[in-house]
Structure 1
Amino acid sequence: MKSMPATLRDYALQIANHEMGHYVVARALGFETGDVTLKVTMGLTHHGGASITLTRSISSIDAMKEHLEARIMVLFAGAMAQTLPPRHSPEKHVDKSKAAAILKGEFGAEQDHAKIRELRYLLRNITYPDTDPASSDSIIAELTEINDRLWLRTQQIVEELADTITGLAGVLVDRMVLVDLWGRAGDSYEVVLTGEVLEGLVPVQAIPALSVWE
């Protein structure tokens, strides 16, 4: 098979890191996971996804808060993981300013950001039910506290699991194939790693169970 051009591979690895960031952190926080997909084109556009099951038993307000916090962290994790350095770099630090830019839509993660905004308000409404709805300063402060706390915790987890994330991203990209288009070479590389295949990988089996709190 014709090898992927170097520029395209670098781009694919960034997006693979993003999707595996969602996947790995979701598993670490107790979500059921499924397939991870990725498509990149010669024009450096992409479409990817990590299947995460959101159905779970929630029988208390505390359980609801923990679920919302975990879900927000999974959404943060994609942008953070996308900024991780190459797999073999000794330093595994998130580029926080770049991750924030990714979430704000500069690199195609605006859907994650929109979901985070909605969930953050819901979490604030549950966490601070007695705040006067007309007190905009208090509400902004509460939203900021929630955001900053979950952002920091997500950064800690992504950096702790950076080798797993970048390693699995490499597996994903290594399995990408050039898609033929009606008998002629297409312009996109694609891959689907099924949940079953992922479950069989040693790095996936070794993902630790972590808490939304330290």
Structure 2
Amino acid sequence: MSSKMPPAVRAHALQIAHHEMGHYVVARTLGFATGGITLTVTMDLRHKGGASINLVQPIPSMEAMKAYLEARIMVLFAGAMAQTLSCDLRVDKAKATAILNGAFGAERDDAKLRELRQLLRNILYPETNLTSTDRITTELKAINDRLWLRAQDIVEASAHTVTELGAMLVDRMVLVEQWGRPADTYEVVITGEMLERLQAVQDIAPVGRPENSGRVFEG
């Protein structure tokens, strides 16, 4: 089990587990249905992780679309934020920004964020002149900063849950046997059903839940 992990591997695994649990916990808080969590970490600190989040929701109005996009952006912010939680359970903004800019392989989150921010800005400011680049930049920054602060508040308010679930995830990692060569990879798969039975998950109070089905994996 993970108790035999080299200290550097365990420390890295905990960071990535916090990242995935950040996506997971904030998604549930904002009303998205969730599935399972996966995590793989190698001895040389390569990793792959995913949190299954149901993105299918009815969007009957433009206001609902705005709310959906805002929630989705906050869920994407949450992974990098949770990964940087310090001993006092505070988010390190500089480190979280660096993660989204490419550290530890979070480029996919940032790419999604860029597109969703622009889509939200297009909806909020439909009369934009395409040549007003300074104004567009200012509007995008305002959207980013507002949702960043809201996401940070949720992550820090949920920090005990994120770290508790992250430690549980790492504690269940096992060294994978590999035929013909030494095993060098720890991995864990926790199904949605298993997570739903945990008290820490049951205690997360969502503001609403999407209907239907259809999942994506956050990285």
TM tier, smaller: over 0.9
Question: What letter is aligned with 1:47?
Answer: K
Alignment-mate amino acid for residue 119 of structure 1: L
Which residue is 1:162 aligned to?
A: 159
Select 1:138's aligned residue among 129, 135, 139: 135
Aligned pairs (5 A) from 1:202-213: 202-210=199-207
The answer as to 2:169 corresponding to 1:172 is yes
- Runs of 5+ consecutive residues of structure 1 not aligned to the other structure: none
Partner of 1:32: 33
- Which sections of structure 2, spanning at least 5 residues, go unmatched? 209-219
Please give the alpha-carbon distance, in whole angstroms, between the structure 1 residues aligned to 2:64 and 2:131. 28
Q: How does 1:4-153 map to 2 (within 5 A)?
A: 4-85=5-86, 89=87, 91-153=88-150
Partner secondary structure for residue 180 of structure 1: coil
Report the identity percentage: 64
Q: CA deviation at 1:75?
A: 0.4
1:197 is aligned, of 178, 189, 194, to 194
Structure 2: distance between partners of 1:26 and 1:161: 12
Q: Distance in 2 between matches of 1:163 and 1:210?
A: 19
Mapped to 2, the partners of 1:92 and 1:134 lie a distance apart of 43
Q: Distance in 1 between matches of 2:46 and 2:31?
A: 31
Instruction: Report the Cα distance in structure 2 between the residues aligned to 1:190 and 1:32, rounded to whole angstroms.
Output: 24
User: SS state of the match for residue 189, structure 2?
Assistant: strand
Q: Is the 8 A contact 1:101 1:107 kept in 2?
A: no
CA shift at 1:17, angstroms? 0.2
TM-score when normalising by structure 2: 0.92
Q: Is the 8 A contact 1:29 1:209 kept in 2?
A: yes
Tell me the matched-pair count. 207
TM-score (norm 1): 0.94
Q: Distance in 1 between matches of 2:54 and 2:89?
A: 28
Q: Secondary structure at the match of 2:101?
A: helix
Q: Secondary structure at the match of 1:123?
A: helix
Equivalents in 1 of 2:115, 2:180: separation in Å? 45
- Amino acid in the other structure paired with 1:41: T
Contact 1:18-1:77 at 8 Å conserved across structures: yes
Q: Deviations over 1:12-49 (max 9, x none)?
A: 00000000000000000000110100000000010000
CA deviation after TM superposition for structure 1 residue 131, in Å: 1.9
Structure number with higher relative contact order (C-alpha < 8 Å, ≥ 6 residues apart): 2
Report the CA distance between 1:184 and its aligned residue: 5.3
